Amino acid sequence: MGVLDGVRVIEIAGIGPGPFCGMLLADMGADVILIERRNGKSSDPAELGKNAIVNRGKRSLALDLKDARAIEAVLRLSERSDALIEGMRPGVMERLGMGPSVCLARNPRLIYGRMTGWGQDGPLAHAAGHDVNYIALSGALWFSGQPGEPPMTPPTLVGDLGGGALYLCVGILAAIIRARGEGVGQVIDAAIVDGSANLMNLLLSAHAAGVQPLERGRGLLDGPHWYGSYECADGHFISLGALEPQFNALLLEKLGLGDDAEFAHPYDSRRWGRLRERLTALFTEHSRQHWVDLLEGTDACFAPVLTPTEAMTHPHMAARGVYSKRDGIMQAAPAPRFSATPAGDPGKVPQRGEHSIEILRAAGFGDTEIEHLLTGDLEPK
């Protein structure tokens, strides 16, 4: 159960943002039918198998998509579905016989979600790429780093998940609302270059206002001594984000620097380098726990930098139940939270083809058809 109870989604197995979008929908209660390869391994070098948290809560149907009858089975399933998700290169689904025009002809209310890095058109549409390439081209990688250093790539979060999966999910939900009201489906072109560029709008606002220059390390969110992370005496790290004057003043007071004239002008970028050096030296005098005891829970805008395992047991995260283990796998709880239709515990990760028979029978397939689809035999044994 969940806020999307009654919504059915067909997901063509892929890697990265498409499966993550499917997980978000499943977490919210949608019936997500994952179409996996019947035989063979995924093209993903990081084959996750039973550890694929992105597949939790989904039902798995294993088919050979080189078989025309398997293609017909997917099309029949799409007739009973609200949305379809695919993450192939442009043109692949068309060559398989499951392109948007075919699917929408079978189900005019269908939302056909296409997840790619470069988009369905443009000079790079057919080129290979990954998260780092997409956010590099969109400009989203630019501010991640300091002057004189290469930009530091945040693994998969900004591009695949932020600019990709989340935008595809929002698009699908918005289009389902329209389809249910007007009976009209459509195609969603969710490109990571588009989404990650759209994520830049807040920084572009700051740039237009003159507080976020294009020179890295000179803006309010990537340069000040009071915004960033520091190493402690024990090799652990802490983070600061004391942007507003009142929070900045409290931070300095807590650190014993409230009367220090050098820190009296927190927004003067000419001082940031020297003041960062001073804070670097200060924080290496004590352990991370010392700074936690001094600053956590105050308005100094502070938090320790935790590993995911540490985060799981932190009092705040534990109180909210953000992390848990299921079948021995650490994973984060569904988000966001709904008051009237809570998501409940995440579903388990299905085995490949675990639900094939029940899905096909519910869709009206006979025993002979099911045997062929699951074995490839032309005639039942």
The rounded mean pLDDT for the chain is 94
pLDDT at 205: 96
Flag whether 211 is in a domain: no
Cα dist from 112 to 88, 101, 179, whole Å: 13, 10, 12
Q: Find the domain containing 117 and state its range.
A: 8-199+326-375
| CATH code for the domain of 262 | 3.30.1540.10
Q: Are residues 286 and 243 in the same domain?
A: yes
Q: Using 50, 70 and 90 to split pLDDT, how confident is the model at 380?
A: very low
Q: Are residues 98 and 144 in the same domain?
A: yes
What is the 8-class DSSP label of residue 68? H
Does residue 43 surpass a pLDDT of 70?
A: no
Task: Tell me the average pLDDT across 166-175.
Answer: 98
Q: How many domains does the chain have?
A: 2
Residue 47 phi/psi, 5-degree rounding, is -60, 120
pLDDT at 379: 53
Q: Are residues 238 and 270 in the same domain?
A: yes
Flag whether 310 is in a domain: no
Q: Are residues 80 and 191 in the same domain?
A: yes
Flag whether 221 is in a domain: no
Choosing from 305, 334, 361, the residue where a domain stops is 305
Q: Are residues 186 and 289 in the same domain?
A: no
Whether omega for the bond prior to residue 108 falls within 30 degrees of 0, making it cis, is no
Flag whether 296 is in a domain: yes
Q: Are residues 63 and 177 in the same domain?
A: yes
Q: Are residues 278 and 143 in the same domain?
A: no
Q: Are residues 293 and 343 in the same domain?
A: no
Task: Tell me the average pLDDT across 206-225.
Answer: 92
Residue type (1 letter), 98: M
Q: Kindly report the pTM of this predicted structure.
A: 0.94
Flag whether 205 is in a domain: no
| CATH code for the domain of 175 | 3.40.50.10540
Q: Are residues 52 and 99 in the same domain?
A: yes
C-alpha–C-alpha distance, residues 136 and 87, integer Å? 20
C-alpha–C-alpha distance, residues 80 and 107, integer Å? 8
Q: Are residues 195 and 130 in the same domain?
A: yes
Active site residues: 130, 160
pLDDT at 137: 97
Flag whether 217 is in a domain: no
3-state SS string for 152-218 = CCCCCHHHHHHHHHHHHHHHHHHHHHHHHHHCCCEEEEEEHHHHHHHCCHHHHHHHHCCCCCCCCCC
Please choose, from the candidates 51, 60, 49, the residue with its C-alpha nearest in 3D space to the C-alpha of residue 12: 60
Q: What is the pLDDT of residues 100-141, one digit of tens each?
A: 999 999 999 999 999 999 999 999 999 999 999 999 999 999
Q: Which two tokens stand for residue 204?
A: 């572009």
Q: Are residues 103 and 192 in the same domain?
A: yes
Does residue 381 surpass a pLDDT of 60?
A: no
Q: Are residues 84 and 164 in the same domain?
A: yes
SS3 for 71? helix
